[in-house]
Structure 1
């Protein structure tokens, strides 16, 4: 009977020791671009050359209808295409597109 109690205690201790394994911490090395929504309208002629060049390269039939800028030099551009469709794109001062 003592052997049965002793075996039960050993089994219980063995099972609980596996339950106390520390889980590893997650390490996240992902760059995140945050776009602030406090845009103020600016003149299209005030856009940096890099931004207008990016629009011309990626949207050759697009016309920039309105341009907006926020405090972190990010630009919101309202574009219209020749086929009548329109949309909004976001770019930084270097002409890199920002996904929303």
Structure 2
């Protein structure tokens, strides 16, 4: 009888460990998108170094629009064939990865 009571206590005690609530720690991930402010400029205002770099890297590309930000980084909207895209360059004509 003692063995039966002891085994029942052990079994019931083991159930209590399964019944304990699991606290889920919810992690909050906050992302902040920093969008740089570009101002549209005339195509004639694009530095010659950038236009030369564009002709060298993409000879068939057509420059549609150009933008500049406060850091003198240029955003170029180009069309090459039937594809449109954006390129970024600094004032010296070096390409920037964004």
TM-score where L is the length of structure 2: 0.63
Counterparts of residues 10-89 of structure 1 (less than 5 Å): 37-81=36-80, 83-89=81-87
**For this pair of structures, how many residues does the alignment match?**
65
Q: 1:37 & 1:62 partners in 2: Cα distance?
A: 25
Question: Residue 16 of structure 1 aligns with which residue?
Answer: none
Task: State the Cα distance separating 1:36 from its structure 2 match.
Answer: 6.3
Superposition deviation, residue 37 in structure 1: 1.2
Task: Please name the residue that 2:88 is paired with.
Answer: 90
Could you tell me how far 1:97 is from its partner in structure 2? 0.3
Q: Specify the structure having the higher radius of gyration (Cα).
A: 2
Distance in 1 separating the partners of 2:89 and 2:66? 11
Over 2 Å off, 4+ runs: none
Rounded Cα–Cα distance in structure 2 between residues aligned with 1:87 and 1:56: 15
Gaps of 5+ in 2: 1-33
